[in-house]
Every structure is written in C-alpha cells, then in structure tokens.
Amino acid sequence: MTAILLDGDVLARRRFDELAARVVSLAKRGVVPRLATVLVGDNPASQSYIGRKHENCAELGMASDDIRLRGDISEDALIAQVEALNADPLIHGALVQLPLPAHLDEGRVGEAVSPAKDVDGLHPMNLGRLLAGTPGLLPCTPAGIEDLLRAHDVPLAGRRVAIIGRGMLVGRPLAMLLSLPGTDAEVTLLHRRSPDLAEVTRQADVVVSAAGQPDLVTADMIRPGAAVVGVGITYVDGGMVSDIADEVAQVAGHITPRHGSVGAMTRAHLLSNLVRIAEAG
C-alpha cells in the first residue's frame, strides 16, 4: 500500500489564491488588510516562520509590519507594544511569535492581544468560544489540519481520531474543533506518557501527532488505511525530524509529507483570519 499524500503546500496555494480574490474585493472598498507581528529575540526558527508570513502577505497584496524587539525586553514594555497595536486602527491583526524568552510570561503576553485582532486564534476568549461551540477566530494549525483532511475527503463524522499532544497550540483546540457538532469525530487526546498510546492509535481512523518527539509514531501503531498527520517537528543535528516515522507511509491510507504541509496550511488560515477581520471592519 502506498499512502495518498496530504499535500498541504498545494492546498495552501489554492487557499492563498482564494484569499487574493477577497483582498482585491477589499481594495475596491479602500481596505488593505494589515498584519503586525512581534518577534522578541533572535530565535532562528521563529525568524524563519515570521519571514514566511510576511512573504505571504506581500504575495497577496496585504500590508504587514515586522516588529523586532530585544530579547531582554521587560514584560511590561512588551505588553505596552502589544497594546499600541491593539489601539492602532490601521492594524487588523496582530500576533506575538512564540516561544518567548524564559523571563516573559507567554500567557500574560498572549492575553494582552485584543481578541478581535487575534489572528492566531489562541486568545482565551477565542478558545472559550470554540469550547462553547460558537467559534469565532479559529486556531490556525487546527483549522489547517481539518481543512487538509476535508479537502482529501478523509471522513470525520463518527470516526475515531487520536491526537498525540495536549498543548494549547494544536492538541487541545484540535480536539475541540473536530468534536464540534457538524464534524462529530470521536476524539481521544493522548500524550507521550499515555500507557495505552499504541493501543489507541491502532484503533483510530485518523492519527495526528503534535508531540515533538522524533519518530514517535511507527508503522505498528497505525491501522492499515488510516490517515496520519505529522505536526510535531524536532531539530536534530541541524535537520528536521517528524513525529511520524518514514515506515508509516507503507501502512497509512493518507499521510502528510515528512516535512512541510501543515506549516503552509497554518499560514493560510492565519491570513484567512486576517482577511475575515478586515472584511468585518
């Protein structure tokens, strides 16, 4: 068996094309969606992620502000910067790139971003709406994963989904999203210390791993024909290693590439949130 590739790079390009048409419509109204990003310090991976977001904005005809701050900035000074973006009527969406230096409280900084400008979809108010079943701005990576599965006709209603990783960026909000009425997946949220991890994944129709542990998911953990999505990436000896071992492609029915795919979908849905905010304004 050779798995069908869940190619998020190709799908993201389609989504960007759709967004470009909406940006043209906004321009006719004199509106240019504008994104502001805040990067603290010089984390190379974060610099790369930020760079791609600004490249996508430029490609789609949207404006963006790339704000770089010293790694030793105080928490109060960082929050003051965020509050200035909240108050700027020309800025439609804002985000603070994670991770932050250890002396900064990511929770407090994240809560400082206005829920109305929260293009990441991770403000407690937006996550609370998702939990309540009345979602607004959706978390970008979970929304991108659902979009990727639906676009490839992977059934979700009544199907068993195993999610490895309980973080607030992917695992927990994805569990909420896929279990919403209308999607109706049967979701089990796991983590690396779950004693029955392999037993649960072997029964699942869809397995998503966002644990950040190299080659965590192996072929013997996957039911033949299941869809497998790798989100977690670990940097080892200068290279990127997925949570999903190469051998899984010989068992799965659908699988994401070893690298990429989900990242492109994340950016597509982040900019979708930005356009949505601009359209509502």
Domain map (residue ranges) of the chain? 30-116, 140-263
Identify any residues that bridge with 239 across adjacent strands, giving them in sequence order.
236
117 is catalytic: no
Per-residue confidence in pLDDT tens, the chain, 281 aa: 679 999 999 999 999 999 999 999 999 999 999 999 999 999 988 999 999 999 999 999 999 999 999 999 999 999 999 999 999 999 999 999 999 999 999 999 999 999 999 999 999 999 999 999 999 999 999 999 999 999 999 999 999 999 999 999 999 999 999 999 999 999 999 998 899 999 999 999 999 999 999 999 999 999 999 999 999 988 777 677 889 999 999 999 999 998 778 999 999 999 999 999 999 98
CATH code: domain 140-263 is 3.40.50.720
pTM above 0.85, yes or no: yes
- 30-116 with 140-263: one CATH topology? yes
The sign of the dihedral angle between the CA atoms of 69, 74, 77, 78 is: positive
**How confident is the model at residue 1, as a pLDDT?**
62
**How confident is the model at residue 258, as a pLDDT?**
82
User: Is 233 labelled as part of a ligand binding site?
Assistant: yes
Tokens representing 143 are 């929304």
53 is catalytic: yes
Exactly one of 81, 97, 117, 205 is catalytic; name it.
97
Cα distance between residue 29 and residue 16, in whole Å: 20
> What are the Cα distances from residue 210, in Å, to 84, 164, 182?
33, 6, 24
Cβ atoms within 10 Å, residue 207:
28
Stated as kind and residue range, the H or E segment containing 38 is: strand 34-40
Cβ atoms 14, 269 nearer than 8 A: no
> What are the Cα distances from residue 233, in Å, to 76, 239, 272?
32, 10, 24
User: Is 30 labelled as part of a ligand binding site?
Assistant: no
Exactly one of 81, 117, 118, 120 is catalytic; name it.
120
User: Is 165 labelled as part of a ligand binding site?
Assistant: yes
30-116 CATH pick, 3.40.1360.10, 3.40.50.10860, 3.40.1260.10, 3.40.1190.10: 3.40.50.10860
Nearest CA among 233, 231, 247 for reference residue 173: 231
